[in-house]
Amino acid sequence: MPKNENVFSSWRGWCGRVTSRLVHRGWRAVQRAGAVTAERPGPYRFGRIGVGTRLAFPQGTLFGEPWIELGEHCVIGEQVTLTAGMMPDVDLGPEPVLRIGNGVVLGRGSHVIASVSVEFGDDVFCAPYVYVTSDNHSYDDPDQPIGRQWPRSAPVRIGPGSWLGAGAVILPGARLGRNVVVAAGAVVRGEVPDHAVVAGAPARVIRRWAPDEGWQPPLRTPAPVPIPEDMTVQQLLALAELEREREQAREQTGERNLEHEERGLEREPGAGAS
């Protein structure tokens, strides 16, 4: 009897491994087939999809696509919502409402809601679950449910080269300059100058770069050294191995110095006496 149980367990384990591989292989095939590109737009008819842009599958809520323009080489993560207008099938006029520049990255689960102009400059990078909206609930009438009151709307612009951390919220009327850093979880409204770092709810400027002073307050760590463009993978691996050897040598040197200090203490008269 134990022998039969072992055979059955082995067979069940083999079937489980095969099933797992098939499920993951099938899901990857579905993801490839369901991705939206200029060549394979699926059921969506965007105003524009640039070359090299890809919306990962599964997509979030998408409507008002004729008024949405996506630049070239954008990466739109899974479950990203992009909407133009308050609801589907509304004529928004001749001009695009949501414009996303070239090289923009929208992380998984992000939402961009635009009933009036929302614009992303080139090379804006967004971490997961960023929320950008041109509309905010109003509560002027105390007798009406807030969700039934007409929202307040204002255009939004995010300057080129900016970085929006995970969970950041960009509210109606926000105007971010060039190369702005928005900390994770920040809630941004109003104008943010170029080369600024903002954090908090509501967000405020905590660091800014000026041509004559540099970063103020100064950065606490040195800038990372970029990898040369002509460096090969083999050279990078060799460099990493060399760095590990140097770190080990530093540790061994520190241990030897500590041993010398301990021996010196032992030789001193009265060492260890109470």
Q: Looking at 73, 137, 195, 260, which residue is catalytic?
A: 137
17 lies in some domain: no
14 burial (CB, 10 Å; 0-12 / 13-18 / 19+) is exposed
pLDDT at 265 over 70: no
User: What was the pLDDT predicted at 273?
Assistant: 47
User: What was the pLDDT predicted at 222?
Assistant: 84
What average pLDDT does the segment 57-69 reach?
A: 96
Q: Where residue 232 falls among pLDDT bands split at 50, 70, 90? A: confident
> How many domains in the chain?
1
CA atoms within 13 A on the CB side of 47: 21
**pTM higher than the cut 0.85:** no
Q: Where residue 266 falls among pLDDT bands split at 50, 70, 90? A: low
Contact indicator for 110, 81 with CB cutoff of 8 Å: yes
236 lies in some domain: no
Residues in the chain: 274
86 burial (CB, 10 Å; 0-12 / 13-18 / 19+) is middle
6 lies in some domain: no
The runs of H, that is alpha helices, within the chain are 2-34, 233-267
Residue 108's CATH number: 2.160.10.10
- Residue 129 CA to residue 79 CA, distance in Å, equals 10
Provide the terminal-to-terminal Cα distance of the chain, rounded to the nearest Å: 70
What average pLDDT does the segment 59-74 reach?
A: 96
The proportion of the chain whose per-residue pLDDT surpasses 90, expressed as a percent, equals 65
Domain span holding position 183: 32-216
Q: Where residue 274 falls among pLDDT bands split at 50, 70, 90? A: very low
253 lies in some domain: no
2 lies in some domain: no
Shortest CA distance to 200 belongs to which of 214, 209, 211, 190? 190
160 lies in some domain: yes
Q: Where residue 260 falls among pLDDT bands split at 50, 70, 90? A: low
Whether a cis peptide bond, with omega within 30° of 0, leads into 41 is no
Give me 115's structure tokens.
């009933």
User: What was the pLDDT predicted at 262?
Assistant: 62
7-11, 151-155, 237-241 — most confident range:
151-155
130 lies in some domain: yes
Task: Give the model confidence (pLDDT) of 21-44 as tens digits.
Answer: 999 999 899 989 999 999 999 999
Residue 260 a catalytic site member: no
pLDDT at 196 over 80: yes
1 lies in some domain: no
